[in-house]
Amino acid sequence: MRVNKILKQTLFYLVVAGIILVILTPIYFLVVISLMSDQEAYDWPTQLVPSFFNNYKLEIVDGKFLISVYSSAKKKYSTLIKTNDFEELQKFVRNKTNSTIKKGIFDIQVKKLNELISKNSEEISNLRNQIASLESKLNTVTVNLVRYKTQLEKAKKANMNNLISIINEKIIEFENEKREYEKQIKKLSERLDEIGSVKFSVSKHLFDNYVNFFRVTSDALPALFRSIQVAILTVLISLTIGGMAGYAFARYNFKGKNLLKLSVLFVRMFPGISIAMPMVIILINMGFYDKPIGLSLVYSVGQIGMTIWITASIFMGISKELEEAAMIFGTTRWGAFFKVTLPLALPGLAASAMYAFIGSWSETAQAIVLTQFNPTFPVVVYQTLVGAKGLINLTAAGGVSLALPAVIFTLIIRRYILQMWGGVKV
């Protein structure tokens, strides 16, 4: 019995952990990528944790400063830029790594580097020549290796067994030669790093992508405020109309009630984009096209049906006798509703509000059709994603910024939603 209980508990916790993992993993990666610099975002394999510092290596090659940054994914330094212009170097490094190398820090490192080079100038020169020579030989071997592998594929297709064995021997010979050159280059490079370069760390601007998103994306902040305006209006319209309809369905019986209850969900069966296109003409005639009120009216069409279903279920669960008892004690019908029924229905109204807010907040397809010069925030993020041409860290920052208001709104009303599930009492 005890073993059976342990197995059941283990299975239960595995299922819970699996659900949490499936929900949280995409969100975690989105947040991590939004905190990465361009250099980190395109390294493979992608790091699971963004770095808080950047480690740099500074050298002088051909009379110019050569700066590299350490890649945790590649386990080596990646070259950034070779220049004598400090401002150009600083700007390029800032764009690629989200770190600012201050002039004072750079001058200190240059002084250290010059002292190091003056002591080991002859050995540095020899090492560079040896590395250049080995790299030239390595390139030749690599080219031969590719050529022989191509010939091997052709020989295999032609079933030339004698030729295949000869080519295989040459490939093995070149691969051994390549490994030997790589080993020698690595050894010489390590020695060159010791006597011909300086390394230093600079803290990273962790939220640089968020700042850049709002700085380089035109109309981002006004679009954010417009989206908040649209979402609030949608919640108000949905709760006002849907809440009253839900109360009527719960309290009154009339002919065709069930058919009408089913029909309010009919609009949800149509894709939002198909409703948006005819609504363009209606909103233009009303003077609401490209305005928050027009968008909220269109969004409310879909949200009211769900609000009616949620609130009707809640009102049906609240005993009618409670209102009648309140009226016996002297209050009016409206007073009984506001003092007795409405407080008890708050969890359902909160759930409806959350549903309406999230539904309108993340809507993009309808907003693209119904706005032209005043887009909402999801449209701006979408346009950035399309126009960014692969700046995934910037678009990830936009995606997290897009999700934050919905998260904050949900946290504000969480106590009412938890009460609906039998948790915290209001």
Which of 186, 205, 224 delimits the end of a domain? 205
Residue type, 233: L
Please, which residues bridge with residue 81 across strands? 67
Q: Are 375 and 223 in contact (CB under 8 A)?
A: yes
Range of the domain at 28: 1-42
Q: Do 142 and 253 fall within a single domain?
A: no
Q: Do 238 and 191 fall within a single domain?
A: no
Which of 172, 205, 238 delimits the end of a domain? 205
pLDDT value for 426: 41
pLDDT value for 112: 92
Residue type, 150: T
Report yes or no on 18 lying in a domain.
Answer: yes
Q: Are 296 and 239 in contact (CB under 8 A)?
A: no
Q: Do 230 and 164 fall within a single domain?
A: no
Report yes or no on 48 lying in a domain.
Answer: no
pTM over 0.85: no
> What would the two tokens of residue 49 be?
């944790």
> What would the two tokens of residue 378 be?
């999801």
Q: Do 404 and 389 fall within a single domain?
A: yes
Report yes or no on 332 lying in a domain.
Answer: yes
Q: Do 175 and 287 fall within a single domain?
A: no
pLDDT value for 288: 85
Q: Mean pLDDT, 10 residues at a time, over the chain (426 residues)? A: 79 85 85 87 78 91 90 86 92 91 92 90 90 92 91 85 85 92 92 90 90 81 89 92 89 83 77 78 85 88 85 85 84 85 84 86 84 86 70 83 85 73 49
Report yes or no on 137 lying in a domain.
Answer: yes
Q: Are 164 and 152 in contact (CB under 8 A)?
A: yes
Q: Do 95 and 10 fall within a single domain?
A: no
Count structural domains, the chain. 3
Q: Do 363 and 224 fall within a single domain?
A: yes
Q: Do 255 and 380 fall within a single domain?
A: yes
pLDDT value for 421: 59
Tokens 């969480």 identify what position? 414
CATH of the domain at 346: 1.10.3720.10
Interval 240-273: pLDDT, tens = 998 899 888 888 888 888 888 778 777 777 777 7
Interval 216-235: pLDDT, tens = 777 788 888 899 999 999 99
> What would the two tokens of residue 329 be?
């004690």
Q: Do 336 and 362 fall within a single domain?
A: yes
pLDDT value for 419: 67
pLDDT value for 311: 87
Chain centre distance of CA 281? 35
Q: Which residues of 219-232 are buried (b: 16+ CB within 10 A; e: fewer)?
A: ebeebbebbbbbbb
Q: Do 235 and 118 fall within a single domain?
A: no
Specify the 3-state DSSP secondary structure of 48: coil
Which of 162, 188, 205 delimits the end of a domain? 205
Report yes or no on 178 lying in a domain.
Answer: yes
pLDDT value for 389: 55
Please, which residues bridge with residue 65 across strands? 60, 83
Q: Other CB atoms closer than 10 Å to residue 238's CB: what's the count? A: 29
Q: Do 36 and 91 fall within a single domain?
A: no
Q: Do 229 and 290 fall within a single domain?
A: yes
pLDDT value for 420: 64
- Report the first-to-last Cα separation within the chain, whole angstroms: 41
